[in-house]
């Protein structure tokens, strides 16, 4: 994302990185957080959310984002198997200035598999510096 709220363009798409669903991490996650889930069924929803959250968190370290106001409209489309590469992207859907020093950015986040199919999506509202 650019240097500040005023430089962010509605419709802009930013890529947030990629991550492989490793079999070792899938088994460890299921053991710790999803007992009863069969790893053969792919990554459980909570792990998919965690992967998106990590990719988004790593990417937004360089953004002028000061606060996340909400994560809404969460949607899980599939449970990716071990070995699948997931990539995240964010699309700016809208923005609203709030005073002279900040603004709210509304964005759609998508997590896609190697074939470009939707795995997870959500909407966020975040405060950015102007």
pLDDT in tens, 20-57: 999 999 999 999 999 999 999 999 999 999 999 999 99
What backbone torsions phi and psi does residue 55 show, to the nearest 5 degrees? -60, -45
- The answer to whether domain 5-129 has CATH 3.10.129.10 is yes
Return the closest-CA partner of residue 16 out of 60, 49, 82, 63. 60
Rounded Cα distance between 36 and 46, Å, is 14
Q: What is the mean pLDDT of the chain?
A: 94
Q: How confident is the model at residue 2 (pLDDT cuts 50, 70, 90)?
A: low
Per-domain residue ranges of the chain: 5-129
* Reported pTM: 0.91
């Amino acid at each position: 994302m650019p240097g500040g709220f005023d430089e962010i363009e509605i419709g802009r798409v930013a890529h947030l990185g990629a991550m492989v669903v490793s079999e070792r991490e899938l088994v460890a996650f299921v053991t710790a957080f999803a007992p009863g889930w069969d790893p053969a069924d792919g990554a459980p929803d909570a792990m998919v959310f965690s992967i998106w959250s990590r990719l988004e968190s790593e990417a937004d370290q360089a953004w002028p984002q000061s606060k996340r106001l909400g994560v809404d409209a969460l949607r899980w489309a599939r449970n990716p198997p071990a070995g699948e590469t997931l990539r995240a992207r964010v699309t700016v859907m809208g923005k609203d200035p709030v005073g002279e020093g900040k603004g709210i950015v509304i964005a759609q986040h998508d997590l896609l598999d190697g074939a470009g199919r939707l795995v997870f999506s959500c909407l966020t509202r975040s405060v950015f510096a102007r």
